[in-house]
């Protein structure tokens, strides 16, 4: 059996890496890996950590790339790879443009499609943009849907996907997290982040969503500034995304505040280690919303809608939007009240047990 994995971004690599590792254990499977390199630097960090060797590297990323240009070129090049490999299955993950392109090319070649992390929905086509439409279109193309949670399965059923084609697996991002936690060298990490005082409470921040660019992103930055000034004994670490629409307001508003550490984008193990060391996590990332419960950290989600409501429903995450006052209030309550903090971290992890990848490969073998 020939499997072709198509990935292009950091989330693709994180969530497909454990599936690739599991597939390579199987004697009856021949594995092929195609990188679009939609995000070159961030992707490379992850595939190096997981020791993934691509068979095809299309290297399609360009500076300030336009989604239309990327999609057009990726359709041509990925299609060529599929024709060359002639796989039994094309495997894609989540909701990136690479995911949709990979599924569409497989469809054009009448190749079966497995969609990992299927069924996430906000029901707002512009939030997240373009991910909501990418994953909805991929659903219409896929032959088997690996839903991470019961909620994801319910969404697929509402879209008339046959129940027998939906398998609840848990999220492969949790598999990747457990793998990373076993391999991260503690002493190297302490040296790497020597400017951060880990004897103090640490807030870890990520922010990069396109729908937040502009005024909402400025509100996030102003909230972080107020939090840093209100709690001078806190440390705030913010790995800043490479997109200039994120970097410009972040560095303009936050660069001269002593207890805010603006970092370049981190490799995957470094970020996982900082999650483990943090006290609170502020994010607009879907993957971080899934990972944080596994390391027992409360999550403040700086978005207006989320396709990952399981964390909110379980109590370990709060969906608060991007208003400065709401962000400051939510963080302040967690810092000031041990009872509120303890209730959040006592919540169960709704996203997985670290065995999703094995379930996925077993289902593909038996399909």
Q: Is 208 a catalytic residue?
A: yes
CB 350 within 8 A of CB 314: yes
Q: Is 211 a catalytic residue?
A: no
Q: Which of 12, 95, 175, 291 is catalytic?
A: 95
CB 275 within 8 A of CB 292: yes
Q: Is 117 a catalytic residue?
A: yes
Q: Which of 131, 175, 290, 310 is catalytic?
A: 131
Q: Which of 10, 135, 208, 359 is catalytic?
A: 208
- Tokens read off for 8: 């292009």
Q: Is 40 a catalytic residue?
A: no
- State the alpha helices, DSSP H only, in the chain: 10-24, 40-49, 67-85, 97-108, 131-141, 150-158, 172-183, 186-192, 215-230, 244-254, 268-277, 286-291, 309-314, 324-336, 338-345, 356-366
Q: Which of 12, 117, 211, 291 is catalytic?
A: 117
Q: What is the DSSP letter of 293?
A: G
Provide CB contacts within 8 A for 338, sequence distance 6+: none
Q: Is 57 a catalytic residue?
A: no
CB 316 within 8 A of CB 347: yes
Residue 38 CB burial class (10 angstroms; 0-12, 13-18, ≥19): buried
DSSP string, 185-211: -HHHHHHHTTTS-TTS-EEEE----GG
Q: Which of 44, 210, 353, 363 is catalytic?
A: 210
Q: Which of 10, 115, 121, 241 is catalytic?
A: 241
User: Alpha-carbon distance 154 to 132, whole Å?
Assistant: 16
Q: Is 235 a catalytic residue?
A: no
Whole-number Cα distances in Å, 29 to 56, 356, 361: 18, 18, 10
- Which residues are known to be catalytic? 95, 117, 131, 208, 210, 241
């Amino acid at each position: 059996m020939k499997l072709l994995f198509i990935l292009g971004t950091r989330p693709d690599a994180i969530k497909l890496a454990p599936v690739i590792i599991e597939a390579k254990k199987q004697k009856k499977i021949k594995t092929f890996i195609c990188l679009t390199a939609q995000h070159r630097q961030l992707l490379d960090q992850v595939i190096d950590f997981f020791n993934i060797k691509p068979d095809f590297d299309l290297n399609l990323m360009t500076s300030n790339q336009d989604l239309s240009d990327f999609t057009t070129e990726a359709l041509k090049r990925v299609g060529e790879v599929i024709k060359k490999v002639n796989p039994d299955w094309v495997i894609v993950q989540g909701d990136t443009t690479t995911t949709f392109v990979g599924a569409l090319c497989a469809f054009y070649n009448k190749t079966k499609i497995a969609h990992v992390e299927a069924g996430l929905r906000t029901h707002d086509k512009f939030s997240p943009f373009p991910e909501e439409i990418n994953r909805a279109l991929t659903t219409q193309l896929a032959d088997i849907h690996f839903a991470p949670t019961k909620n994801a399965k319910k969404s697929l059923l509402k879209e008339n996907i046959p129940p027998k084609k939906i398998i609840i697996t848990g999220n492969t991002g949790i598999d990747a997290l457990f793998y990373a936690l076993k391999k991260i060298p503690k002493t190297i990490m302490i040296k790497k982040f020597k400017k951060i005082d880990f004897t103090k409470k640490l807030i870890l921040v990520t922010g990069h969503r396109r729908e937040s660019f502009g005024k909402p992103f400025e509100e996030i930055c102003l909230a972080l500034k107020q939090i840093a000034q209100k709690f001078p004994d806190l440390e705030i670490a913010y790995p800043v995304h490479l997109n200039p629409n994120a970097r410009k307001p972040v560095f303009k508003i936050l660069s001269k505040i002593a207890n805010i550490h603006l970092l370049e984008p981190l490799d995957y193990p470094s970020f996982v280690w900082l999650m483990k060391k943090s006290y609170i996590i502020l994010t607009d990332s879907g993957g971080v919303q899934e990972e944080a419960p596994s390391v027992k950290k409360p999550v403040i989600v700086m978005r207006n809608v989320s396709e990952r409501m399981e964390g909110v429903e379980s109590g370990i995450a709060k969906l608060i939007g991007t208003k400065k006052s709401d962000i400051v209030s939510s963080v302040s309550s967690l810092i000031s009240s041990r009872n509120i903090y303890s209730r959040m971290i006592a919540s169960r992890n709704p996203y997985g047990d670290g065995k999703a990848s094995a379930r996925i490969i077993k289902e593909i073998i038996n399909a």
